[in-house]
């Protein structure tokens, strides 16, 4: 044993030496041969030959030395570059000779490689490196987390908190903060809303990005008394101002302050997704608020080199705990600070969708590999003679393997080239289908260097996967058999046949997994669409209104705006009903603690609370179950009356009590910017449940009350129309601006469009992507099953001829071929089902209302695969059955 | 052309002959192996002596022989090959194989002759 190990090691050592130091070792080998020649010559001279004759005789007896050295190199080196180049040349030549094969193989691979490239571009651009800023990996934001609850924690800070963190920390080389500010931009016609951000001094230095036009904000802009200026984002400049460079230097009225536009940022700058960036220095003692909500600064720090996230967390915890000692009510009792990378702000659950898509694409690629491997195996069988000849002529085993692998590589690279084209086109469709709210503002989805590197890597890997089996097969071959075999009667050799069958089984299994995934996402999407909203979203137009806070703070001020506006809207022809609201379905209002008069309970009671005007339930056609809706008088008089949903009744009046006339306290209203002193409301009606936490979550208890009670909260306008609601857009804008031209309209659209964009886009994306991949996979598998059967029957032509000559019916032949093919399909289905059941658990979280082992989906998918498989078997079977025995027997 | 036509060395049999030579004589250099085969085959076989080296390399790779540099009888530097235990085992197997096959071939040929 020891001797064996040693000698093997020695053989490998010899190879390694051959690889690295070819010159020296070859020299020694040549010396050895030369010495042999010398000895031969000496012998011939001793026998009486002349010196030249002896040399010639020695050479004759020894044979060709050059060839020997070649042989030796072949044996001793792993691979050499010049040989590889030669192999490439040869592979291209060989593929050119069989163009059909090469094209089919490359296109098959291109589909897989293209799809994976497209998906990887999305992943790279929105998950791996979405930010164009200087060293984005160093940027962290901080979150105050209550250690005793599992809540998300807060990530907004007051100005004093920010200043304390910025000044006292030991871990950040720079800090910045941004605070959201809804900006009303007043122009000639009316008012538009822009999404603004107040940014602290040094923000642009922090990100390390210069302006594209003009300049960024400078320290001088933050000085008291400095002329008010702002900077605009590229996207806003293009979409709202048509990319007009002359607006640089113009003055715009933003939140009633005239400001000069000093710079436009480059396309990929998207910090805080802000349309406009306004300089603001956080000051201790300054107090500002919007709609009753404190202004919060979102903190971003750049870690000093060598500082870890954990060190930053510890440092920030110490600073904030110091503040908590002074101001304990602003913090949870026990808390710690968590640092998160900038990238963690976005994507979130969409990550799972993308990774699922990537897995699907990998399956697709593997199916493609399977097809090409089978094609190569078939081709290798057909070329067995060629290889045997090469072998006999002296090509080593390693050489043959390499030749095949290089051929695979050429195919894969060709496939990659076409794949990049497919990806380039597919990416456009993909970007259009992506749900918008999950993508970081900074990311631009495109084919870039890392993506192309990925493609190249995939191509090489692919070549190895599909090329190895045929290559080894070629090398293992017995030298004599293929030279003798003319293809008669033998079905391509037992072993190759087995391997090809196995590949088909695996392909069918993988495509079944893909299709089941697609089916589940489709069912899930359909279930989501079918989820009863509890309201009728058709024929409804909605828009959020932004009212200048200087003039609209109190309930009475709100009423002075909405009362005439609603009256005006109801008078517009085609308008059925109009209403105010504080939120947009399928989301309800804000969460509040609730109390019910005369009821005591140990745990906290909660409900979503939403303010509306009397038309709300009619606009959305929400079903009244008990009592009545609000009357116009109740709303205009700001009476404290409430309508609750059925869940509220079931949860808080579980004993069949009559909820009518009961009094409910909405605690949240007490602490709003425009507080309600005694927030007790009398229940006057019960309506059916309306989804209020999105479509996937169960409905929460909800309470509606008149909007005239408080001036706090958001303001939304909902209009039901007789005809296409989109036609009302202009009328609506005119009505709003003729009531008050300082009010801005935010995201006006039909309610259906909004729900589509916000709720359905994500699941639709999963479903679309999976369905496309599933179908492509199915097509590839069909081609795979077909080509294997077609090849096998072609090889068997002679055998079939004999069978028919011996009396087999056409039906028998048909049956023989179809049975062989379907056997493989069924085996694949068995494997695929098993794999799907295991993998199903992974995607359960992304499914809505459909179990991962949904029998209907499984059954349907299996039927589709069987049908397709049968079709793929039928064509070669028919061809076989139609054979003329006379021709078949002569077939060579 | 009075010389009787020499037979070609059958593929695969050279390896066997070299193994046997090394087994019988102990460590040998290439030239020595060639001489020994020539001598034993009594000039019946036509041997391209270069192929001995190909065969030696093949055997080295299989781990059936090992090589070492040393000095030849006439004090020249030469590479000496010797059989390994694994090689011995292989030799036994191959020898048995060969005997069986040549026996069968012989019987078949005799049959032909009688027919």
Q: In this predicted structure, what is the pLDDT of residue A21? A: 42
Residue among B10, B29, B47, B49 with most chain A CBs within 10 A, to mutate: B49
Strand A191-199 to A172-186 pairing: antiparallel
pLDDT in tens, A504-546: 898 899 999 999 988 998 888 888 888 888 999 999 999 999 8
Residue A586, preceding peptide bond in cis (omega within 30° of 0): yes
pLDDT in tens, A592-604: 889 999 888 888 8
- Residues of chain A with pLDDT > 90: what percent? 35
Q: In this predicted structure, what is the pLDDT of residue A222? A: 93
Option in A4, A61, A75 nearest B86 (CB): A4
Q: In this predicted structure, what is the pLDDT of residue A264? A: 95
Instruction: Give the A window 32-71 contacts with B, CB below 8 Å.
Output: 32-33, 35-36, 39-40, 61-65, 67-68, 71
pLDDT in tens, A441-494: 777 788 888 888 998 898 888 888 888 877 777 666 554 454 444 444 344 444
What is the value of pTM for the model shown? 0.67
Mean pLDDT value of segment A124-145: 85
Q: In this predicted structure, what is the pLDDT of residue A9? A: 53
ipTM above 0.85, yes or no: no
CB contact under 8 A, B84 and A35: no
Mean pLDDT value of segment A710-729: 92
Mean pLDDT value of segment A398-411: 83
User: In sequence order, which residues have a C-beta less than 8 Å from that of residue A86 and are 6 or more positions away?
Assistant: none
Of residues B76 and A722, more confidently modeled: A722
Other residues' Cβ atoms within 10 Å of the Cβ of residue A13 = 10
Taking 60 as the threshold, does the pLDDT of residue A1 lie above it? no
Of residues A440 and A192, more confidently modeled: A192
Q: In this predicted structure, what is the pLDDT of residue A491? A: 42
Taking 50 as the threshold, does the pLDDT of residue B1 lie above it? no
Mean pLDDT value of segment A748-771: 87
Tokens encoding A517: 């995934």
Q: In this predicted structure, what is the pLDDT of residue A34? A: 81
pLDDT in tens, B59-69: 887 788 988 88
Taking 60 as the threshold, does the pLDDT of residue B57 lie above it? yes
The residue in chain A having the minimum alpha-carbon distance to the alpha carbon of residue B64 is: A7
Q: In this predicted structure, what is the pLDDT of residue B5? A: 47
Option in B34, B53, B66 nearest A68 (CB): B53
Which residue, A47, A70, A68, A67, is CA-closest to A57? A47
pLDDT in tens, A227-283: 999 999 998 998 889 999 999 999 999 988 899 999 999 988 888 889 999 999 888
Give me Rg for the CA atoms of chain B: 16
Other residues' Cβ atoms within 10 Å of the Cβ of residue B110 = 10
Other residues' Cβ atoms within 10 Å of the Cβ of residue A154 = 16
Q: In this predicted structure, what is the pLDDT of residue B10? A: 57
Mean pLDDT value of segment A716-723: 95
Distance between alpha carbon A512 and the CA centroid of its chain, in Å? 22
Which DSSP string corresponds to A685-738?
EEE-----B-SSSPPPPEEEEEGGG-S-S-EEEEEEESS-GGGGHHHHHHHHHH
Judging contacts by C-beta atoms under 8 Å, the chain B residues touching residue A61 are 47-49
Q: In this predicted structure, what is the pLDDT of residue A891? A: 58
Of residues A885 and A622, more confidently modeled: A622
Q: In this predicted structure, what is the pLDDT of residue A201? A: 94
3-state secondary structure of A74: helix
Lowest mean pLDDT among A463-467, A618-622, A630-634: A463-467
Mean pLDDT value of segment A182-210: 89
Q: In this predicted structure, what is the pLDDT of residue B46? A: 67
User: In sequence order, which residues have a C-beta less than 8 Å from that of residue A703 and are 6 or more positions away?
Assistant: A592, A594, A607, A608, A609, A610, A642, A643, A644, A645, A648, A664, A666, A681
């Amino acid at each position: 044993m020891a001797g064996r190990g040693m000698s093997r090691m020695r053989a490998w050592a010899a190879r390694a030496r051959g690889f690295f130091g070819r010159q020296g070792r070859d020299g020694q080998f040549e010396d050895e041969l030369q010495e042999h020649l010398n000895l031969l010559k000496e012998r011939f001279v001793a026998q009486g030959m002349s010196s030249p004759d002896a040399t010639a005789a020695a050479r004759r007896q020894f044979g060709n030395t050059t060839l020997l050295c070649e042989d030796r190199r072949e044996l001793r080196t792993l691979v050499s570059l010049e040989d590889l180049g030669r192999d490439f040349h040869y592979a291209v030549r060989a593929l050119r000779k069989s163009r059909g094969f090469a094209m089919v193989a490359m296109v098959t691979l291109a589909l897989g490689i293209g799809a994976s490239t497209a998906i990887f571009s999305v992943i790279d651009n929105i998950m791996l490196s979405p930010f164009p800023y200087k060293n984005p990996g160093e940027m962290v934001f901080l979150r105050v987390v209550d250690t005793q609850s599992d809540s998300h924690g807060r990530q907004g800070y007051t100005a004093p908190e920010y200043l304390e963190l910025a000044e006292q920390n030991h871990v950040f080389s720079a800090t910045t903060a941004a605070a959201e500010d809804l900006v009303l931009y007043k122009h000639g016609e009316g008012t538009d809303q822009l999404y603004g951000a107040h940014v602290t001094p040094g923000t642009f230095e922090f990100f390390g990005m210069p302006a594209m036009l003009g300049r960024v904000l400078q320290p001088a802009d933050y000085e008291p008394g400095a002329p008010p200026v702002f900077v605009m984002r590229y996207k806003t400049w293009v979409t709202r101002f048509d990319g007009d460079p002359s607006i640089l230097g113009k003055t715009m009225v933003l939140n009633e302050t005239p400001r000069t536009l000093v710079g436009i940022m480059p396309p990929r700058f998207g910090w805080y997704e802000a349309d406009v960036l306004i300089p603001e220095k956080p000051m201790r003692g300054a107090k500002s608020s919007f709609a009753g909500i404190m202004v919060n600064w979102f903190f971003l720090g750049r870690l000093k080199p060598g500082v870890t996230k954990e060190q930053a967390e510890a440092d920030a915890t110490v600073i904030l705990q110091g503040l908590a000692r002074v101001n304990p009510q602003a913090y949870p009792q026990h808390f710690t600070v968590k640092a998160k990378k900038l990238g963690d702000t976005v994507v979130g659950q969409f990550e799972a969708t993308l990774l699922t898509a990537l897995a699907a694409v990998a399956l697709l690629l593997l199916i493609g590999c399977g097809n090409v491997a089978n094609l190569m195996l078939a081709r290798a069988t057909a070329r067995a003679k060629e290889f045997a000849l090469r072998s006999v002529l002296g090509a080593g085993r390693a050489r043959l393997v390499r030749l095949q692998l290089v051929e695979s590589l050429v195919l894969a690279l060709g496939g990659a080239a076409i794949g990049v084209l497919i990806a380039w086109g597919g990416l456009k469709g993909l970007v259009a289908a992506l749900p918008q709210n999950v993508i970081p503002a900074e990311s631009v989805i495109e084919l870039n260097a890392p993506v192309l590197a990925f493609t190249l890597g995939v191509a090489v890997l692919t070549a190895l996967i599909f090329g190895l089996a045929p290559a080894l097969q070629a090398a293992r071959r017995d030298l004599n058999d293929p030279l003798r075999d003319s293809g008669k009667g033998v079905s391509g050799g037992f072993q190759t046949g087995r391997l090809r069958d196995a590949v088909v089984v695996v392909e069918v299994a993988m495509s079944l997994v893909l299709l089941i995934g697609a089916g589940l996402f489709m069912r899930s999407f359909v279930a989501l669409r079918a989820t009863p909203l509890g309201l009728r979203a058709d024929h409804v137009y909605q828009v959020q209104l932004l009212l200048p806070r200087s003039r609209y703070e109190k309930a009475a001020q709100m009423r002075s705006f909405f009362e005439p506006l609603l009256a005006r809207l109801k008078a517009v022809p085609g308008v059925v009903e109009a209403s105010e609201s504080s939120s947009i379905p399928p989301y309800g209002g804000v969460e509040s603690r609730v109390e019910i008069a005369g009821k005591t309970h140990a745990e906290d009671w909660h409900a979503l609370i939403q303010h509306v005007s009397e038309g709300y339930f009619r606009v959305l056609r929400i079903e009244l179950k008990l009592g009545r809706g609000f009357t116009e008088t109740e709303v205009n008089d700001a009476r404290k009356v409430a309508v609750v949903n059925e869940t509220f009744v079931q949860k808080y009046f579980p004993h069949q009590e009559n909820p009518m006339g009961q009094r409910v306290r909405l605690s949240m209203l007490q602490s709003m910017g425009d507080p309600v002193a005694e927030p007790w409301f009398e229940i006057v009606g019960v309506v059916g449940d309306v989804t209020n936490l999105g479509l996937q979550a169960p409905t929460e208890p909800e309470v509606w009350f008149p909007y005239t009670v408080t001036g706090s909260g958001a303001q939304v306008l909902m209009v039901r129309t007789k005809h296409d609601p989109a036609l009302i857009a202009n009328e609506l804008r005119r009505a709003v601006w003729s009531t008050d031209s300082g009010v801005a309209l935010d995201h006006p659209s039909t309610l259906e469009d909004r729900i589509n964009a916000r709720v359905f886009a994500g699941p639709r994306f999963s479903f679309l992507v999976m369905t496309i991949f599933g179908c492509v996979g199915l097509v590839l598998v069909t081609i795979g099953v077909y080509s294997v059967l077609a090849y096998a029957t072609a090889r068997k032509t002679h055998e079939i001829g004999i069978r028919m000559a011996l009396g087999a019916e056409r039906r028998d032949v048909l049956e023989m071929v179809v049975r062989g093919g379907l056997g493989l399909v069924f085996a694949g289905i068995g494997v695929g089902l098993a794999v799907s059941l295991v993998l199903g658990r992974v995607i359960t979280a992304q499914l809505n209302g459909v179990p991962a082992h949904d029998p209907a989906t499984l059954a349907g998918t299996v039927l589709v695969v069987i049908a397709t498989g049968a079709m793929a078997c039928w064509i070669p079977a028919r061809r076989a059955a139609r054979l003329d025995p006379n021709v078949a027997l002569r077939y060579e | 052309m009075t010389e009787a036509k020499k037979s070609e060395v059958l593929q695969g049999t050279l390896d066997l002959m070299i193994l046997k030579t090394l087994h019988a004589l102990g460590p040998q250099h290439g030239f020595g192996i060639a001489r020994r085969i020539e001598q034993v085959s009594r000039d019946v076989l036509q041997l391209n002596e270069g192929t001995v080296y190909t065969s030696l390399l093949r055997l080295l790779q299989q781990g059936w022989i090992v090589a070492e540099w040393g000095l030849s009888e006439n004090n020249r530097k030469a590479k000496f090959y010797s059989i390994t235990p694994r090689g011995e085992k292989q030799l036994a197997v191959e020898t048995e194989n060969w005997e069986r096959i040549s026996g069968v071939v012989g019987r078949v040929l005799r049959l032909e002759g009688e027919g």
